């Protein structure tokens, strides 16, 4: 008993030293470049956001932030690589919708969702529901009525199975009990080309990539999928305003890391991200690309991701979508 008591007292005595050494290490961090894994190819929305945030994060932390594109498997490849990295703050991950969509679609992932620690949400990008102007459809209500009048005869395009655009349409269908055929294309550009050629009847797309065609009058925007209207398309209603109750979807982006980061390091990164998110030039750059600045800290992003995953699980079950 005396020996056990002595060991307990010794452990308690060492605790301040352990905490002190961890704090000193965190204060010294980072001492070398930080890798920012982007689970998509260069040139896309998430990659563009990484290249906007990366240099500013480098300024905040005093070390280079190196963009490392790891595309593949719908974002699973890069997420898995980041999840398996050392939890020392030297590997970060651009977080985006696949982190909440893929757990609902894949029974087997190359990582477990709890292996990834959210650090902060920086912005949300609306998806936008569009039709060809030649259709004569002017509202979501008119589109829904036409689909109901012709069940199974209309179709919609997407950029592939299991993407945010695909599931945005399936959520719309589930909210209205609609029967519309899915036609997946190899990328959003091909899907949009098909819509402009009247080969398909409707599609959802990320607002930044669709904005030019909408403004040019080549596509008709019926609604955006976020809770608020877009600042670049203020005349276009939200899906909720258009009568689709409880409809909320966004192509969000933020930062995450392997779970188990030292608390002091996580706090430093979150504080740096918050300062970046609130910089006027960053907010202006996001809005110029059709994104809405939406800061949430790590805890807030974790809650957001949990709710998003639950929504996509419901949609995947309804539409019987599985990618395994």
Could you tell me if 219 and 130 lie in one domain?
yes
Decide if 23 is inside a domain. no
Per-residue confidence (pLDDT) for residue 6, from 0 to 100: 54
Could you tell me if 69 and 119 lie in one domain?
yes
E strand intervals along the chain = 34-38, 65-69, 91-95, 116-131, 155-158, 181-184, 202-206, 220-224, 250-258, 292-297
Could you tell me if 53 and 118 lie in one domain?
yes
Are 121 and 284 in contact, with CB atoms under 8 Å apart? Answer: no
Ordered per-residue pLDDT tens for the chain, 324 residues:
555 555 456 556 555 554 445 555 456 899 999 999 999 989 888 999 999 999 999 999 999 999 999 999 889 999 999 999 999 999 999 999 999 999 999 988 999 999 999 999 999 999 999 999 999 999 999 999 999 999 999 999 999 888 899 999 999 999 999 999 999 998 888 999 999 999 999 999 999 889 999 999 999 999 999 999 998 899 999 999 999 999 999 989 999 999 999 999 999 999 999 999 999 999 999 888 788 899 999 999 999 999 999 999 999 999 998 887
Could you tell me if 157 and 301 lie in one domain?
no
Decide if 238 is inside a domain. no
Per-residue confidence (pLDDT) for residue 107, from 0 to 100: 85
Could you tell me if 261 and 118 lie in one domain?
yes
Instruction: Give residue 205's domain range.
Output: 126-224
Decide if 192 is inside a domain. yes
Q: Which residues pair with 157 in a beta bridge?
A: 183, 203
Are 180 and 214 in contact, with CB atoms under 8 Å apart? Answer: no
Decide if 16 is inside a domain. no
Could you tell me if 96 and 141 lie in one domain?
no
Could you tell me if 147 and 212 lie in one domain?
yes
Domain end residue (candidates: 224, 241, 268) = 224
Exposure pattern of 289-310 as b/e (b: 16+ CB <10 Å)? bbbbbbbbbbeebbebbeebbe
Q: Supply φ then ψ for residue 181, to 5 degrees.
A: -85, 135
Are 192 and 205 in contact, with CB atoms under 8 Å apart? Answer: yes
Per-residue confidence (pLDDT) for residue 317, from 0 to 100: 92
Domain end residue (candidates: 206, 224, 242) = 224
Distances in whole angstroms, Cα of residue 204 to Cα of each of 34, 136, 171: 35, 18, 11
Could you tell me if 219 and 277 lie in one domain?
no
Could you tell me if 201 and 133 lie in one domain?
yes
HEC profile of 28-94: HCCCCCEEEEECCCCCCHHHHHHHHHHHHHHHHHCCCEEEEECCCHHHHHHHHHHHCCCCCCCEEEE
Could you tell me if 120 and 182 lie in one domain?
no
Could you tell me if 155 and 70 lie in one domain?
no
- CATH number of the domain residue 152 falls in: 3.40.190.10
Decide if 246 is inside a domain. no
Decide if 116 is inside a domain. yes
- CATH number of the domain residue 83 falls in: 3.40.190.150
Decide if 244 is inside a domain. no
Angstrom distance (rounded) from CA 235 to CA 292: 16
Decide if 229 is inside a domain. no
What is the number of structural domains in the chain?
2
Could you tell me if 130 and 215 lie in one domain?
yes
Domain end residue (candidates: 209, 224, 239) = 224
């Amino acid at each position: 008993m005396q020996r056990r008591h002595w060991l307990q007292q010794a452990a308690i005595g060492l605790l301040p030293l352990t905490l002190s050494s961890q704090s000193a290490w965190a204060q010294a961090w980072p001492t070398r470049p930080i890798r920012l894994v982007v689970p998509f190819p260069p040139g896309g929305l998430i990659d563009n956001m990484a290249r906007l945030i990366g240099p500013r994060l480098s300024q905040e932390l005093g070390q280079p932030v190196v963009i490392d594109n790891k595309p593949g498997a719908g974002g699973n490849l890069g997420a898995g690589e980041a999840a398996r990295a050392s939890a020392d703050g030297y590997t970060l991950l651009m977080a985006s919708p696949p982190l909440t969509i893929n757990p609902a679609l894949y029974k087997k992932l190359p990582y477990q969702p709890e292996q990834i620690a959210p650090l902060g949400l920086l912005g949300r990008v609306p998806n936008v529901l569009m039709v060809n102007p030649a259709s004569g459809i002017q509202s979501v209500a008119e589109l829904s009525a036409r689909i109901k009048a012709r069940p199974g005869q209309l179709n919609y395009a997407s950029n592939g199975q299991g993407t945010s655009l695909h599931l945005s349409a399936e959520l719309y269908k589930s909210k209205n009990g609609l029967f519309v055929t899915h036609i997946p294309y190899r990328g959003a550009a091909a899907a949009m080309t098909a819509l402009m050629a009247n080969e398909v009847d409707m599609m959802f797309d990320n607002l930044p990539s669709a904005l030019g065609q909408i403004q040019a009058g080549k596509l008709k925007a019926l609604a955006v999928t976020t809770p608020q209207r877009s600042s670049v398309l203020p005349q276009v209603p939200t899906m909720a305003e258009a009568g689709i109750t409880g409809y909320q979807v966004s192509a969000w982006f933020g930062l995450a890391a392997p779970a188990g980061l030292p608390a002091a390091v996580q706090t430093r990164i979150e504080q740096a991200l918050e300062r970046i998110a609130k910089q006027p030039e960053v907010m202006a750059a996001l809005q110029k690309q059709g994104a809405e600045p939406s800061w949430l800290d790590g805890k807030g992003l974790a809650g957001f991701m949990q709710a998003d995953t639950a929504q996509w699980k419901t949609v995947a079950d309804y539409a019987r979508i599985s990618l395994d």
